[in-house]
Structure 1
Amino acid sequence: MGADTSIEWTVHSFNPWSGCQAVSPACDHCYAEAQAKRQPKTWGGWGPHAERKRTSESYWRQPLKWNSEARKAGTRPRVFCASMADVFDNAVPAEWRADLWALIAETPHLDWLLLTKRPQNIRPMMIAARRAVLRADVAEDHVTWPWPNVWLGTTVENQAEADRRIPHLLAVPAAKRFLSCEPLLGPVDLQACKAWRDCNIPEYGGPGHEFVSVLHGLDWIIAGGESGPHARPSHPDWFRSLRDQCQAARVPYFHKQNGEWVSVSEVEGAGPHHHFPDGATVRRVGKKAAGASLDGREWREVPESRAVGEERQG
């Protein structure tokens, strides 16, 4: 069963609907918004007042096919849900989200990756998810949360968003929790994130319990530079720092891409330069030439999936 998406860290990509709006600096050069503007009949409008567009019923049946194939093959393919939207977008009709929860419950052999820039909405919408599943009369093991086939993630492009979003993510139990640090627009020190101390997670001791690092509540870090015509440069040391933090905490690190820019010492040639305050210089060489190598190797670490019915152990 081959991948049907160019996104390196997933096997499938599924869009239950399309449409979104900018909420942080990571959204400034959104590829999904650009694609929607090129193909409005396919992807609908964009922005706070744009109508969200639901995909077809035949398209919604694709995950059922993937689930059947995975069951027969004994695999657990990852499905990135809503690359052209945000599952936890307030503008999406609640009925659509209820239909998505039912679909996820019907496909226990798929690991659904729900990535959001609105992690503050996860908890109330998960409560709604449980109610929707109860009404749908699906498998009993999907009535209680966390579901074994749902990975929850949030985008963290800089320290400000790390401090703001990670506590909301950690406040919700999940089979896996992950961060997408793409586009990485600044250094992120996960041990400097202080608000996590207020998280009420029984497996970590409840309110007021001080962890050594927020990485204790995370299962995966994905990082990458920005691509596209207006791509902003990332300092190579920002990637190295995340990688090293993951290595120290034994958390899988996936380096998706360097973006359009790379250190002048790594790729020869001409092109626009960017100088960082510490003296480091990167050159714009294009996404393909910049590649995904970090210090001479590619980092493609992925957490292990849990079998259907296996509970999270922390």
Structure 2
Amino acid sequence: MNWEPWTGCYPVSTGCDNCYFYGPNAKRFGQNEITKTDKFDWPIRRNKKGEYCIKGGKILATCFATDFFLPEADLWRKGAWAMIKERQDIDFLIITKRIERFKESLPEDWGDGYDNVNIGCTVETQALADQRLPLFLSYPLKRRFIAASPLLEELDLSPYLAKVDHVTVCGENGRDGRLCEYAWIEKIQKQCQAAGKTFWFKSTGTRFRTQEEVVKVNPFKQGALAKSFQLDITDGKRLF
């Protein structure tokens, strides 16, 4: 389930170059116009019986069509945090490329984190990993993971794995999606294995180099192809 309290975004790094905001769906998503949506209060809406419309036990992917830490959303974020705190029976999954804004965007009662908030820091290149992850690991969080998405080159994440719970990896989707290589995925998987962390190869992206060739992958088949390599590490654990 996705919750988009606001919509719109704009590029901050090379991983944004082929974002769907600026592709075929740009008009639908409002491009870089940041606006509050009519689903802003969705997590706390109630039905005629007085029950929450969203039942407990769900995972809400939050701001996956924008960024939770956009400065333009500062006026609305306090209200979003209040709803997140109210719904302790729901897990809120938040991925960001703006991790440098995390600390200044926290609610006053954050402490060492909310139990129901899981933050993912996105990295696309080694330079961005080395820039963002030290900051990410310095922040007070009870749950955190790394999202190598879109993965644009070989990464060494081993210096950063001790303090994260999980790593997710994706290639880049879209007509102009850049190449992702099996060897890069396998290297990160081995780093996670050595560190005792869960790992999910979510999707290959549009252009993917297997062990034998470069293939163009239909968007609806990228997840299945990724799964076929059997690289995921779950060990019976919940990933998010």
TM-score (norm 1): 0.67
Give the alignment of 1:288-307 within 5 angstroms: 288-290=220-222, 291-293=224-226, 296-297=229-230, 299=232, 301=234, 304=238
Which residue of the other structure, out of 232, 236, 241, is the alignment partner of 2:178?
A: 232
Q: Rate the CA distance shift 1:297–1:143 in 2: closer, same or farther, 3 A.
A: closer
Larger Rg: 1 or 2? 1
Q: Rate the CA distance shift 1:95–1:254 in 2: closer, same or farther, 3 A.
A: same
Q: SS at the partner of 1:297?
A: coil
Corresponding residue of 1:104: 84
For this pair of structures, how many residues does the alignment match?
Answer: 233
Corresponding residue of 1:242: 188
Give the alignment of 1:1-314 within 5 angstroms: 12-34=1-23, 37-39=26-28, 43-46=29-32, 51-56=33-38, 59-64=39-44, 68=52, 70-71=55-56, 75=57, 77-92=58-73, 94-126=74-106, 129-130=107-108, 144-191=111-158, 213-263=159-209, 281-290=213-222, 291-293=224-226, 296-297=229-230, 299=232, 301=234, 304=238
Shift of 1:164: 0.5
One-letter amino acid of the structure 2 residue matched with residue 87 of structure 1 = F
Q: Rate the CA distance shift 1:300–1:38 in 2: closer, same or farther, 3 A.
A: farther
Matched residues in 2 for 1:143 and 1:260: separation? 39
Deviations 1:156-176 (A, max 9, x none): 111011001101111112121
One-letter amino acid of the structure 1 residue matched with residue 23 of structure 2 = A
Q: SS at the partner of 1:292?
A: helix
TM-score (norm 2): 0.86
Shift of 1:215: 0.5
Deviations 1:208-258 (A, max 9, x none): xxxxx3111111111011111111111111100111111111111011111
Q: Rate the CA distance shift 1:239–1:294 in 2: closer, same or farther, 3 A.
A: farther
Shift of 1:297: 2.0
RMSD of Structure 2 on Structure 1 (CA): 2.5
Matched residues in 1 for 2:193 and 2:45: separation? 37
Give unmatched runs, 5+ long, in structure 1. 1-11, 131-141, 192-212, 266-279, 307-314
Q: Rate the CA distance shift 1:226–1:108 in 2: closer, same or farther, 3 A.
A: same
Greater mean alpha carbon deviation, residues 60-69 or residues 169-178:
60-69
Give unmatched runs, 5+ long, in structure 2. none
* Sequence identity (%): 27
Shift of 1:264: 5.6
Matched residues in 2 for 1:264 and 1:166: separation? 28
